[in-house]
Amino acid sequence: MNPKLFKAESTEFDGEGYGSFTRCVKCHVDQELGSTGVYDLEMTILADDPLLSILQVGSIIAVNPNMTDPIQAFVVEEISKKIDAEVDIYATHIAQHRAKLIPVAPVTANNLTDAITDIMNNSLETNPFSLETKRTSLLGFNTIRPMSFREILGGTEGSLLDVYSGEYIFDNYTITFVTKRGRDDGVVIAAGQNMTGFELIEEFAWNDSATGVLGYYYTDEDGLVSGTVQYCDDHGIYPYEKTVTVDFTDVFDSVPTANQVDLIAKGYISTKGYPQVNLDVAFDHYDPSLRQKIRTMQLGDTVHISNPTYNTITTSRIVAMDYDVLAEQYNSITIGTLKANINKVISEVKE
């Protein structure tokens, strides 16, 4: 499709707006999984495009961001006019851009449901977004200073992502907070079939990961209530334990029992990472078994990897996608390991 231009205050993007860019020579959307998620648009138009005269920073460009999602809105943040009569445009998804501009007063809540309600109610200016979740958590939520709506979603200490872990799905003005986005459609990349590249790098680098947690509650008035060590499900496969202690005092309004502390600790350890494993995989983009499935792949989808040479049968996720809006095809799909840092695991599948 050709990108369409809308005025800055638009809230609906299925119409024609000001019309389509007719002299667009490049347009692609980058999405990444992690934190609040990169979701950007970059495009180039020729200087004789009729819409250039009304294009400005703050304008909205609407496109299909991939092969599956509905039209999404991107707010223009930068316009660069070049001597070669080309104009480069950089825009950010409307949920990423506008969320930075909404201040939220400090929030105190006893659980995730109340936290989301209070975040919306404590917005100090009109908040056009809908923040939704089907998740539940008994962990309390507390911010001690005003934050932007974007900050409170994720990327800073004490944010929703920091406290509850999870991922976001952005659909224009609707933001959905999920445990894990994506699905498993049984996509298989196997050595000797459609696999064209494979590199597995294992290192016992823990970073901020943990295999167990000892939670506790403590105040000068009430004293100490300590739980027992709670382990992640797969802790037994590692050569030694890494158990951390965590103060859950702020989670409780009154003195908890040891069992209540353990319940919170169990939820905490289930969100922690595992030792770093870097897996680079490339596959044949035109393999008959994959061509149709590529059209329905989404960020966060699970991919199954098989390489008998190294006795490797594992799963990875799609952690980044680069979509060519004009050609309506992917420039690259990036596959990374489930527990890996997106900045350290890169596997690009080129056309």
**Higher pLDDT, residue 288 or 262:** 262
Burial 306-318 (b: 16+ CB within 10 A, else e): ebeeeeeeeebbb
**Which pLDDT band holds residue 199 (cuts at 50, 70, 90)?**
confident
Task: Classify strands 212-219 and 243-247 as parallel, antiparallel or unpaired.
Answer: parallel
User: Tokens 């990108």 correspond to what residue?
Assistant: 3
Domain edges within the chain? 4-98, 102-178, 187-203+276-350, 213-269
Could you give the CA distance from residue 336 to residue 282 in angstroms, rounded to a whole number? Answer: 11
Could you give the CA distance from residue 339 to residue 337 in angstroms, rounded to a whole number? Answer: 6
Could you give the CA distance from residue 13 to residue 19 in angstroms, rounded to a whole number? Answer: 11
- Taking only the tens place, the pLDDT of each residue in 275-322 is 555 666 777 777 787 777 888 888 989 888 888 887 777 778 888 888
**Which pLDDT band holds residue 340 (cuts at 50, 70, 90)?**
very low
Given a cut of 50, whether residue 5 has pLDDT beyond it is: yes
Contacts for 302 with CB less than 8 Å, ≥ 6 apart: 182, 183, 184, 187, 315, 316, 317
Given a contact cutoff of 8 angstroms between Cβ atoms, the answer to whether 28 and 41 are in contact is yes
User: Tokens 């024609």 correspond to what residue?
Assistant: 16
Given a cut of 60, whether residue 37 has pLDDT beyond it is: yes
- Taking only the tens place, the pLDDT of each residue in 123-164 is 999 999 999 999 999 889 999 899 999 999 987 878 998 889
**Higher pLDDT, residue 206 or 332:** 332
What pLDDT, on the 0 to 100 scale, is given for residue 202? 61
Beta strands in 185-226 (DSSP E): 187-190, 195-202, 212-219, 223-226
**Higher pLDDT, residue 324 or 331:** 324
What pLDDT, on the 0 to 100 scale, is given for residue 292? 78
Could you give the CA distance from residue 282 to residue 293 in angstroms, rounded to a whole number? Answer: 16
**Higher pLDDT, residue 165 or 111:** 111
Q: Please, what is the end-to-end C-alpha distance for the chain in angstroms?
A: 19
Taking CA atoms, 85 is separated from 2, 14, 52, 81, in Å, by 20, 30, 12, 7
- Radius of gyration of the CA atoms of the chain, in A: 23
What pLDDT, on the 0 to 100 scale, is given for residue 293? 80
What pLDDT, on the 0 to 100 scale, is given for residue 106? 94
- Taking only the tens place, the pLDDT of each residue in 56-105 is 999 999 999 999 899 999 999 999 999 999 999 999 999 989 998 999 99
Q: What is the mean pLDDT of the chain?
A: 85
Could you give the CA distance from residue 142 to residue 140 in angstroms, rounded to a whole number? Answer: 7
Given a cut of 80, whether residue 230 has pLDDT beyond it is: yes
Could you give the CA distance from residue 66 to residue 58 in angstroms, rounded to a whole number? Answer: 23
Could you give the CA distance from residue 89 to residue 24 in angstroms, rounded to a whole number? Answer: 11
Task: Classify strands 223-226 and 19-20 as parallel, antiparallel or unpaired.
Answer: unpaired
What pLDDT, on the 0 to 100 scale, is given for residue 17? 93
Question: Hey, which residues does 28 pair with through a beta bridge?
Answer: 42, 324
Task: Classify strands 302-307 and 187-190 as parallel, antiparallel or unpaired.
Answer: parallel
What pLDDT, on the 0 to 100 scale, is given for residue 335? 76
What pLDDT, on the 0 to 100 scale, is given for residue 36? 60
Which of these, 189, 235, 182, lies nearest to 209 by C-alpha position?
Answer: 235
Given a contact cutoff of 8 angstroms between Cβ atoms, the answer to whether 151 and 160 are in contact is no
